[in-house]
A and B are shown apart, each in its own frame.
Chain A
Amino acid sequence: MTTDRACTLTIIGGFDKDGNPDLVERLEMHRGEVIGIVGPTGSGKSSLIADIEQFALGDTPSGRKILIDGCEPRAEIRSDPRKKLIAQLSQNMHFLADMSVDEFLRMHAKSRGRSPEVAERVIELANTLTGEPVRHDHHLTILSGGQSRALMTADIAVISDSPIVLIDEIENAGIKKKEALELLAGEGKIVVVVTHDPMLALMTSRRVVMKNGGMVRVIETSAEEQKVCEDLAKVDDWLMDLRETIRRGEVVEAAI
């Protein structure tokens, strides 16, 4: 249910951790684009995602500004989940809510103005991403990291279906990352993905390089990199197969 109107996301540069201006002064993202954020640990990737998530107006430590269709977003768009333009899959994988999966999803659907019946679909979809099935009467607090991440991914695809999707390190959760990214990207969305994973990084059309809290460079994914990405996908499929074989307690037989 992505809205039909145009949606351009603009980041106006701020400052790095030492107060030096971002070398990338302005960055525009358009619908249908998948953009990566890369850089070493502590380089400010998650802060950049946080700036976008809260539509920073120069009021965050980085001093960056986020514009939607060239304008500062209105206050209600910043806060009301029913009007929210952003869905976010964060690194926080553990639920603190002591509720059943079903109760939580129904409540979340209500907060986003969706029908509570979608809960069933979220669970179904989550179970295509994880090897350990999630049941509707499971308590959130007992879910494993992989189950939580799969559930949140499906939640974003179904309940928080928003034109802008922010993803923070999806690869660390032990779920099918390529399928998860494709599911989250949907059609005609702006997807921003923080990643250390070479395949996910090369699946994007451009990637922002972070250093010491600042945006230092934007790299377009070259034709050669796209070719590397295809090779990586094959390696990744092989790894996934191997992992499943080992998980099933079987013996690995053939090399690639």
Chain B
Amino acid sequence: MKLAVLAGTPGSGKTSVLIHAARSLKRDGLRPAVVKIDCLWTEDDKRFQRLGVPVAVGLAKDMCPDHYSIYNVDEMLDWAQSQKADHLLNETAGLCLRCAPYPDKCLAVCVIDVTTGPNAPLKVGPLLTTADVAVITKGDMVSQAEREVFRERILEANPGCRIVEANGLTGKGAAELAELIRGGPEVGDDMLLRHNPPLAICTLCTGELRVSKEHHRGVLRHLDGFMEYFGE
């Protein structure tokens, strides 16, 4: 079983790119299965169903969607096995850009949208810096020069990554991505995350509603970057 984990900012075109890649894998005689993780609601499973590939949905609800997809990897792999799949494609719903949902033995794919501007690759953090492949979408909306500058910025953030220029509307780049997914590593037991999860939870994570800083405990960071510890 091979695992590809697709992450990226909301609206970057993850689902469209993955649909084309899944179609390309199927055309090559492989058996991909898709797990789509979202936060509150999704209808994307219907889009995958139309392709005729097994699809499952997980909703993280009030939990961090990245954490939710990380500790459910084994369950997803078991499900894919039961569907007689040979490639599991996991689309995540990462939002906060502090973690990266990539285990060490997967093909880590970061989908990033060129219209977010050339500073975006510096903002997305481990999602991009620990990825094996960066998929650039919406390239048809900017000039060739701007695409190339964007690409250069991605290489500054992650010098070793493979870059695929894709178009979620036409399917451009899907064959190339499918090829990379086929060439990805086999999943293993005892997989490790590539990047540390965020430092610690704060009082807000446990349900504090009051805004003022005096009500919060633990390690707090001030606007000027100074960090201090409140509590016992």
A residues with a Cβ closer than 8 A to B are 50, 53-54, 57, 59-61, 75, 79, 81, 87-90, 92-93, 95-99, 104, 107-108, 110-112, 152, 155-156, 159-160
Contacts and interface: CB of A to CB of B under 8 A. Distances in A.
A96 B165 contact: no
Contacts of A92: 140-143
Most buried by B among A61, A79, A160: A79
A79 B154 CA distance: 14
Given A96-B142, A104-B145, 20 more contacts: A50-B140, A54-B165, A54-B172, A57-B175, A59-B171, A59-B172, A75-B176, A79-B163, A79-B165, A90-B143, A92-B140, A92-B141, A92-B143, A95-B143, A96-B117, A96-B146, A97-B117, A99-B118, A111-B151, A152-B145
Contacts of A98: 117, 119
A159 B170 contact: no
29 contacts: A50-B140, A53-B144, A54-B165, A57-B175, A60-B170, A60-B172, A75-B176, A79-B163, A81-B152, A87-B144, A88-B144, A89-B143, A90-B143, A92-B141, A93-B143, A95-B146, A96-B142, A97-B150, A107-B149, A107-B152, A108-B148, A110-B152, A111-B148, A111-B151, A111-B152, A155-B145, A156-B145, A159-B145, A160-B148
Interface in B142-170: 142-146, 148-153, 163-165, 170
Nearest to A91: B143
Contacts of B175: 57, 59
B93 interface: no
Chain A CB count within 10 A is highest, among B118, B119, B144, for B144
A108 B145 contact: yes
Contacts of A156: 145
A50 B173 CA distance: 13
Interface residues on B, range: 20 to 34
Nearest to A159: B145
Contact of A107 (B114, B115, B118, B172): B118
Contacts of B142: 92, 95-96
Interface of B: 114-115, 117-119, 140-146, 148-153, 163-165, 170-172, 174-176
A59 B150 CA distance: 24
Contacts of A79: 163-165
A111 B147 CA distance: 10
B117 A104 contact: no
A97 B149 contact: yes
A59 B166 CA distance: 12
Nearest to A97: B118
Question: Looking at chain B's contact residues, is the secondary structure mostly helix, strand, loop, or mixed?
Answer: helix
Contacts of A59: 171-172, 174-175
Contacts of A90: 143-144
Given A75-B176, A90-B144, A96-B142, A104 B115 contact: no
Nearest to B119: A98
Given A54-B172, A59-B171, A60-B170, A96 B115 contact: yes
Nearest to A47: B170
A80 to B, nearest CB: 9
Interface-central residue, B117, B146, B150, B152, by most chain A CB under 10 Å = B146
Nearest to A57: B175
A111 B149 CA distance: 6
B224 to A, nearest CB: 25
Nearest to B139: A54
> Which 9 pairs across A and B sit closest by C-beta, in order of nearness?
A111-B152, A88-B144, A111-B148, A81-B148, A107-B149, A97-B118, A108-B145, A59-B175, A108-B149
A57 B153 CA distance: 28
Contacts of A99: 118
Nearest to B146: A97
A159 B145 CA distance: 9
B159 to A, nearest CB: 13
Interface centre among A61, A89, A107 (most CB of B within 10 A): A107
Contacts of A57: 175
A212 to B, nearest CB: 18
Contacts of B140: 50, 92
A89 to B, nearest CB: 8
Contacts of A50: 140
B149 A61 contact: no
Contacts of B114: 96
Contacts of B174: 59
B116 to A, nearest CB: 8
